[in-house]
Structure 1
Amino acid sequence: MIQIAIISDIHANLIALDAVLTDIKNRGLTQIYCLGDLVDFAPWGNEVIDRIQEKNIPCLLGNHDQRIAFDEAIIPLPHHDVIETSNREIAINISKKEISAPHKKWLATLPYNIELTFKLGTSLRKILLVHASLQSNDEYIHESTPKHALSTQLKQRAIDILVMGHTHHSYIQQDGDVLFINGGSVGRSKEKDRKATYAIITLSHKEINAEIVKVDYPITAVANAIYESNIPDFYGDFLLANNTL
C-alpha cells in the first residue's frame, strides 16, 4: 500500500500550512506533493516557500507563483467584481515587491505538472498532478465541469488519477476509468468552513481510495495578521466569513 498527501493553494498562509503538515506527520505519511500557489493574500509568502524547501516537498508552479516569478501582468478575472479586482491587484503587487529574488528564481524552476507511476503487485498506477488543468494554469475544472472528453484524453495516456487545485473547492469524482481529485486549498479555502484542506490518496494492487481532509487552524489569528500587514483587509475579511474559529 502507498499513501500520498497532496497539498495546494497555500497562498502565503504559513499557519495553515504548518497545521496541515502536522496533521500529515501525525498520520505517518511521508510522501507529500504540492500543486502550487505558494504566494499572495497572506503575510508569509517567503516563509511558506522556505517551509516547502525545508521539507523537500516536490512542488508545481501555480498561476500565482508564475506571475511573481516572471513578473507577469495582472489580468482582471471575469468572475471577480470591481472590489475584489482592485484588492487582488494590490495584494499581488505586494508579493511582487516582497518575495525575495532567490525565491523568485526558485519559483521559476518549478514544473507545470508531475506524472507519478507506482507498481503495486502486477498493477501500475499512474497519477498526473497539475495545478489547474492539462492545458493551462488558469483553467478551472470544477466538479460540475463535464469530464468525458478529459477522461478520454487521460485514458489514452494510461492515467488513473488526475489531481488538481486552483479552484479552492475540494471534490472527488469518478468519470469512467479516471478518478478526478481536487484537494481544495490549504490557505485560502472557498468552502464555507474555511478549514485548511488537502487530499490523501491510498493505492493498493486492488483499488484506489481518496480522502479529503479538513484541518482546524486559528483562522482569526491569520486574519488579524493580515489586518496588521499592508495586505488589503479584504483577505482577512474573506477568511473570517462563515467561520467562528
Structure 2
Amino acid sequence: MRFAAIADIHGNYPALDAVLADIAAQGITDIVNLGDCFSGPLEAGRVADRLLSLSIPTVRGNHDRYLIEQQPEEMHISDAAAYAQLGVVHLDWLRSLPVDLIYRDEVYLCHATPDDDNLYWLDMAVADGSVVLRPQAEIEALAAGIESPLILCGHTHIPRMAALSGGRLIVNPGSVGGPAYDDEKPYPHKVETGHAMASYAVLEKSTSGWTAQFRNIRYDNMAMSVLAATNGRPEWASALATGRMPQSY
C-alpha cells in the first residue's frame, strides 16, 4: 500500500497544485487530507473548487470548524478572508467532514489529536517561546485506544514522525501551504520550518511495516507572498517568502 498525505493547505492554491503534480508524477493515485484547507489571505475559493473535485478522504481541521461554527463578524481575520471566498457548496462540504476516520482499515486520521483539534500531538510550545518534541509518554497517552499501525495528524505544520509502542508509527506530513506561523496559546510561540517549500508525505507499507518519506516541493511562493502583503498580512508574506516569521509586524 502506498499513498500520499497532505495537510494544512490554508488556501494556498499554487502550493496545492504543485504538490498534486508531484504526487501524480510518482504514480500515486491515493491521497488523504488532514484538514485546515482554506483559512488564510490567499485563494480559498480556488482551493475549495479543486478539493471538491478530487473527492479524497478528508478530516476536519480546527480552522475548517471555525468556518462553519462562527459568524463571519466573529471570525479571526484569516478565517474571515477565506469565508468571503467560499460558497454554500464549499461550506456544506466542510460540514460533512468527520473529525477523524480510519483509512483502508488500518490508518487513523485526525487533524491535531483525537479529542482536541487545537492540541499539538508530536510537538509542544514551551514558556520560552520555542517549539520542541513532546515527551514520549505524552505522545503515547494521546494515542491511547488507537490500535491502527499508522496514525496521521497535522496542525503544527512541522513534518515529524515518532515511533510508538506496539510498532505503531505516527506521522505529521507538514503543511502544504503555510511554512510558518505564530500563536499565543499555551505560550506565545513561533512555528517555523525555515524554508518556503510546500510539504507533504508519502506513506508506504512493506512486509516490515510502514515508512514515511517527507517531500518538499518548490512552487511560486513569492506570488503568494505578494498576495498576502496586498491583502494586508505582512506576517503571512514573510512566512510564505522565507519559512520564518518577521521579528515584528
Shorter-chain TM-score bucket reads: 0.7 to 0.9
Confirm whether residue 130 of structure 1 aligns to residue 110 of structure 2: yes
Name the residue aligned to 1:81: none
Confirm whether residue 164 of structure 1 aligns to residue 165 of structure 2: no
12-21 or 43-52, larger mean C-alpha shift = 43-52
Q: Structure 2 CA distance, aligned partners of 1:96 and 1:31?
A: 28
Name the residue aligned to 2:241: 240
Q: Structure 2 CA distance, aligned partners of 1:8 and 1:46?
A: 17
Per-residue deviation, residues 112-135 of structure 1 (Å, max 9, x unmatched):
1111245xxxxxxx2111100011
148-157 or 179-188, larger mean C-alpha shift = 148-157
Which structure 2 segments of 5+ residues have no match? 124-132, 181-192, 245-249
Partner AA of 2:171 in structure 1: I
Q: Structure 1 CA distance, aligned partners of 2:64 and 2:141?
A: 30
Residues matched between the structures, number: 222
Name the residue aligned to 2:162: 173
Query: Is residue 148–residue 175 contact of structure 1 (8 Å, CA) maintained in 2?
Result: no
The CA deviation at 1:161 is 1.5
Name the residue aligned to 1:64: 63
Alignment of 1:133-148 (within 5 A): 133-143=113-123, 144-148=133-137
Partner AA of 2:110 in structure 1: V
Q: Which residue of the other structure, out of 216, 222, 243, is the alignment partner of 1:214? A: 216
Per-residue deviation, residues 161-197 of structure 1 (Å, max 9, x unmatched):
2111000111121122221101110000231012100
CA change 1:236–1:195 in 2 (3 A) is same
Query: Is residue 122–residue 162 contact of structure 2 (8 Å, CA) maintained in 1?
Result: no
Q: Structure 2 CA distance, aligned partners of 1:102 and 1:45?
A: 13
The CA deviation at 1:72 is 5.9
The CA deviation at 1:101 is 2.2
Q: Which residue of the other structure, out of 176, 182, 189, is the alignment partner of 2:179? A: 189
Query: Is residue 183–residue 199 contact of structure 1 (8 Å, CA) maintained in 2?
Result: yes
Partner AA of 2:91 in structure 1: K
The CA deviation at 1:97 is 3.0
Which structure 1 segments of 5+ residues have no match? 76-87, 119-125
Alignment of 1:1-245 (within 5 A): 2-71=1-70, 89-117=76-104, 126-143=106-123, 144-148=133-137, 150-151=139-140, 154=143, 156-176=145-165, 177-190=167-180, 191-228=193-230, 230-241=231-242
The CA deviation at 1:225 is 2.1
The CA deviation at 1:152 is 6.2
Partner AA of 1:99 in structure 2: L
Query: Is residue 36–residue 131 contact of structure 1 (8 Å, CA) maintained in 2?
Result: yes
CA change 1:114–1:27 in 2 (3 A) is same
CA change 1:98–1:142 in 2 (3 A) is same
Q: TM-score, normalised by structure 1?
A: 0.82
Supply the RMSD in Å over aligned alpha carbons.
2.3
212-221 or 11-20, larger mean C-alpha shift = 212-221
Q: Structure 2 CA distance, aligned partners of 1:45 and 1:174?
A: 34
CA change 1:22–1:42 in 2 (3 A) is farther
Q: Give secondary structure in 2 for the equivalent of 1:108.
A: helix
Larger RCO: 1 or 2 (CA < 8 Å, sep 6+): 1
